[in-house]
Chains A and B, each alone.
Chain A
Amino acid sequence: MSTVDLWIAFFGLMLVSIFTRTSLLLLGSKFPIPETVHEFLRYAPTAALIAIVLPEVLFMKDPATQLFELNLYSPQIFGAIGGVIGFLLTRSILATIFVGMLFFTLARMVM
């Protein structure tokens, strides 16, 4: 792709980012969101985070097909278990990352 084409692509993607992130935040004053709907939308962020994290933990990407394959015996699983333990003991994000990386690295050395 030429430099000009690349920048056209970037510019369009920038508009896409802005549009998706602000769409209903901007339109909302014309279409107010009812309180009951808002109450259930509160479950959206956790679900999105789960769907971002889970493929990194429970699955391995097959290099040939680029498909996710379930793998329940991986350093990532031990890392995630370590992370949860770290969080429950300290309630700190930093400790979650530290203990998780420790478990993950140790598991990779052993496995």
Chain B
Amino acid sequence: MVESSPGIVAWSLVTSISLLSAGLSPVDTFWFNIMVYAGSSQLAVMPLINGDYPFWTIWLTGMIVMSRFIIFSATIQPHFKQYSFLQRLGIGTINTDMSFAKFIEKFPSPNNSDGSHTQILYFLGMILAHWIFWQIGALIAIFFGSDIPSSWGLGFAGPLALLALIVPAIKHKTAVVSALVAAITCMLTVNLPYRLTIVCSVFAAVFAAVLMDKKFPQRRA
């Protein structure tokens, strides 16, 4: 996670600069990141907050943008089912796309044969580091945001960090097909509101993997 920190900080920095330039005060921007901690959702509701939209519109928008995490929470559930309600609430609350992807890449199977806490400690370390780097980015934006020219294009470091997680995950036939289906779905649905393209791509990619497995049954790894 330390390795991806420039990507996380840059992404957070750019997110908070957009929130500030949309008119949010520095103090509100700080608490918005601490409380909600969901860049895509925060950016999506900003125009609604500015336009004095009703609360339910704002919350519903946040919910749709965040809906991919319902699928993610199901995916990590078998890994952490032996932990208490509060422990699961704690680790789930600050899950992120990047941490989740890294975790599943590292621990594809929920089986924890030696009964150790390796998986939860790895997950916890990663999401905490991610949270800290995100807040650092927000603080840099709050204190120095106006000194950073947007012409540097720093925000592009975020997608690049994710690229380094996508490429190694595409390692066998089913993964290639699933990734291609995700890419095509994304291109076709890119202009849907509420960033629904993410959920559409996830569904299509998982469905493609099921079909591939039916057509070319493979040994279970």
Contact = CB atoms under 8 A, between A and B. Distances in A.
B26 interface: no
A76 to B, nearest CB: 7
A19 B69 CA distance: 9
Contacts, number: 261
A76 B163 CA distance: 12
6 contacts: A17-B36, A22-B89, A25-B80, A33-B74, A54-B187, A108-B153
Contacts of A94: 3, 6
Chain B's interface: helix, strand, loop or mixed, by majority?
A: helix
A47 interface: yes
Interface in A12-61: 12-14, 16-26, 28-29, 32-33, 35, 38-59
Contacts of A45: 72, 75, 97, 100-101, 104-105, 169
Interface of A: 1, 5-6, 8-14, 16-26, 28-29, 32-33, 35, 38-59, 67-68, 70, 75-76, 79-80, 83-84, 87-88, 91-94, 96-97, 100-101, 104-105, 108
Interface of B: 3-4, 6-7, 28, 31-32, 35-38, 40-42, 45, 49-50, 52, 55, 58-59, 62-63, 66-78, 80-81, 85, 88-89, 91-95, 97-98, 100-101, 104-105, 108, 110, 153, 156-170, 174-175, 178-179, 182-183, 185-187, 190-191, 197-198, 200-202, 204-206, 208-210, 213, 220
Given A1-B49, A16-B62, A50-B186, 10 more contacts: A17-B37, A24-B74, A33-B77, A46-B101, A49-B162, A50-B166, A51-B186, A53-B163, A84-B163, A101-B160
Contact of B92 (A25, A52, A88): A25
The 7 closest A-B pairs by CB, nearest first: A47-B205, A22-B92, A28-B77, A45-B101, A47-B182, A51-B201, A24-B74
A44 B161 contact: no
B93 A22 contact: yes
A72 B128 CA distance: 37
Contacts of B209: 40, 43
B64 to A, nearest CB: 10
A81 to B, nearest CB: 10
Contacts of A68: 190-191
A80 B159 CA distance: 8
B163 A87 contact: yes
Nearest to B181: A47
A48 B36 contact: no
Given A21-B93, A22-B93, A44-B202, A32 B101 contact: no
B85 to A, nearest CB: 6
